[in-house]
Chains A and B, each alone.
Chain A
Amino acid sequence: MTTPRRLSNVPELLLPLWRTLPWRALGAAAALGLLVAGASRLPAGFSPWLALNALRAAALAFALGLAFLLDDPARHTTATVPTPRPVRQALRLALVAPFAALWWTAAVLLVPAEVRPPVGAVTLEAATVCALALAGAAAAIRRTDEPEPGVGVGAGLLTVAVLAPLLWPDRWELFVTVGDPEWADAHERWGVVLTVALVGCAVWAREPVRRLRVRSPLT
């Protein structure tokens, strides 16, 4: 038996993998996000504060869609294929990334320029919440046998998103408004959270070769 070159099956894999992506969830999430961002064009108009929170809500909506990205009804059937799990998960992400970028551009452009918050900073926030959703999904896949943990991950992300602004300590303020002197510092913190979330994605994507040894009681 000849050993195939590593990852040589990627081109063949793209199309079927594309078909397994949760497009309905992503589409609904994207539509809601655009609706929220588009509300800033209503005649009543948005304050800069509301425009910022509209983009945050839009990003949260899209992240909820991404929570379903790693759902795979055929998980058990394909549990032991030679194509490694991190590769399969990375391909899913790669397939959805251009769509996400396009969507975010549209959402940002929907907010009128005069009330639009600094684009780089909100993009950082959006990327962070999306990375948190993916890290949660990867963790759920890694730690449970559930083929489709998206609902639970989404509910968890939502709980965190509602509680974090209420309970997050003021010392490490994250949810600042435009013009707040803490704005730059807060976004450094967002960067830290993003890094942690990405590391979480990478760590939880890996399949363990060995289970941590549980110390057995002395007999």
Chain B
Amino acid sequence: MNTLIQPAPVAVRTEPRDSWASVFALARFESRRLLLSIPVLVAFAVHLAWIVWHTLDSYDGFPALQDADRDTQSPPMLVGLAVLLTVNLAVLRSRRRDTDRHFDVLVVTTWRRSAAHVLSVVPAALLTAVCVGVQFGWEALKPGAVGHGSPGELLVGPLTVLLFGTLGVLLARLLKSAFVGPLLVVFFLFFVVLGVAPGDTESGTRWLNPVVGESSSETLPSDLLGRPAAWHALYLLGLGLTAAVLAVLAGGGRRVRTLYAALGGAMALTLVGAIAQSGGEPASLTAAREKATVDPEQTCVQRGRSTYCAYPEWEPRVGTWAQVVDEVSDLAGGTAHGQRLLVRQRVEARYGLSGDGALQPSGTAHEVTVGTRWGGPRVPEFSSAVAAVLVAGNEQAGSELCDGRIVTVMWLALGWQDQPMDALRKVRLDDSVSGSAIVLQPTDPLSMSAAQTDVVRTLLTRPRGEATARVKEHWSELTAPGLTTARAAELLGVKGITEKDGCQE
């Protein structure tokens, strides 16, 4: 037996076969390298970590899906930049390592290799789509989720990755130096991610950016958003395809006729998307926003003694509102205990998403306003609005309260909560539990004096039954106009309060 010379393994013969099959094989090879490269791995790790960190307590557990879909857009830009850098270097690898001379004579021609590089970006975009799907699915599965997401908005993340990746290939074919990739990332980082786009933020040109944010945190019914999400997705897709076809053309495909047809198609898509998305807001949308603000079409349902009117998308949330109303009513005494309320959902939609509008308190008796957001501080805010209406009769009067009745209102608003001190902190603008502060409400805010705060804090630390009994016992006096804070404290058994009237502060 030969020990020095071992038999060589059998060679694999190359055979004529479908050359697109080899393009896909090469694309698979390149995409595997792309997905396992350090920048892309780091970017996906950061993206996933961000998703977990963000979605764990986003929207306090009560997301409106027409807002949550937009949250999926910015982080994929990071993935896109990593893909841009890596795919750019991958295209230039052959040149840097001087293997062009070998590869240029291979069966798979240069333009097919460019096509394979373009295709190698697709799995990264699909993986981004999975990440986006996970994030959005998580939000949608939260028990408090309402509203509708838009597929157009959800596509922006993956399409951005696709666009950045194809741009990486295109620029590698145009500028054949390895330092172009990193510099491009800085360029995109500054001009796209930081949002330094030329043009007015109000004008249609802002839609030329891949990711278009909004300055308002208002939650509107999904048909009032006025974001041309589907057109924008079409625009991004067209842009990505244009870059892809140009990359193949620049990468040795100038003689391939069908590419020119593809380029025409891709540019047409881009143009259609670009023009349609910059059309501005149609008059019908302005009218619909006006109507939704001033005279909304709502469905009203009866729960317990009270009636709840909500925009159709928020109907599932009526139950949680009713719970709050029932809890507050239970703490109230006198006629307020059995008072029928009308809870009406309102939103200021006339400014769209370009600015926040404040709601005016309602003058109608026993009508309480509830906003479109919920969870976290919104619960004690609504609770205090309900309490103010029960005490003062209507929202307008409730928002003008400043005397000792504030104590009654805040006790009703917070007394039923599991963590009343925590709720007190949340409902106050400066997150304090002592001193004077503004108390937020769905409409105009209330203000609490330092003494009122002291009384409420003392009440909240006492056993609930004892405080409830005292409030009910002195209900008519505690809700009488002109009640001083000192008197309210006395009635409720809180000592050491000398302040005459919170209104003088």
A residues within 8 Å of B by Cβ? Answer: 22, 24-25, 28-29, 32, 35-36, 39, 42, 44, 46, 50, 53-54, 57, 60-61, 64-65, 67-68, 148, 150-151, 154-155, 157-159, 162-163, 166-167
Contact = CB atoms under 8 A, between A and B. Distances in A.
Nearest to B195: A50
Most buried by A among B81, B196, B199: B196
Contacts of B199: 44
A137 B82 CA distance: 20
A29 B179 contact: yes
Contacts of A57: 186, 189-190, 194
7 contacts: A28-B177, A36-B191, A44-B200, A53-B190, A54-B190, A61-B187, A64-B183
Given A39-B190, A54-B190, A158-B182, 11 more contacts: A28-B179, A29-B179, A32-B183, A42-B198, A44-B200, A53-B194, A57-B186, A57-B190, A65-B183, A162-B185, A166-B46
B42 A28 contact: no
B236 interface: no
Contacts of A35: 187
A32 B177 CA distance: 15
B186 to A, nearest CB: 5
A154 B186 CA distance: 11
**Size bin of chain B's contact surface:** 20 to 34
A39 B187 CA distance: 11
Nearest to A54: B190
Interface string B169-204: 000000001111111011101110010101110000
Contacts of B96: 148, 151
B89 interface: yes
B46 A151 contact: no
B183 A28 contact: yes
Contact of A36 (B46, B181, B187): B187
B78 interface: yes
Interface of B: 38-39, 42, 46, 78, 81-82, 85-86, 89, 96, 177-183, 185-187, 189-191, 194, 196, 198-200
A50 B186 contact: no
4 pairs of A and B residues whose beta carbons are closest in the complex: A25-B179, A154-B182, A57-B190, A151-B178
Contacts of B46: 163, 166-167
A163 B78 CA distance: 10
Given A65-B179, A150-B179, A166-B46, A158 B196 contact: no
A158 B185 contact: yes
Most buried by A among B181, B183, B198, B199: B183
A154 B39 contact: no
Contact of A39 (B39, B86, B196): B196
A151 B89 contact: yes
Contact of B183 (A29, A39, A42, A46): A29
Most buried by A among B177, B178, B179, B187: B179
A150 B89 CA distance: 12
A117 to B, nearest CB: 15
Nearest to A156: B38
A65 B82 CA distance: 18
B42 A61 contact: no
Contacts of B177: 24-25, 28
A163 B86 CA distance: 16
Given A151-B96, A155-B89, A155-B182, A162 B78 contact: yes
Most buried by A among B96, B182, B190, B194: B182
Nearest to B180: A28
Contact of B186 (A24, A64, A159): A64
Contacts of B82: 159
A66 B189 CA distance: 19
Contact of B194 (A50, A65, A151, A155): A50
B179 A159 contact: no
Contact of A163 (B42, B89, B181, B187): B42
Nearest to B197: A44
A24 B177 CA distance: 9
A36 B179 CA distance: 17
Contacts of B186: 32, 36, 57, 60-61, 64, 158
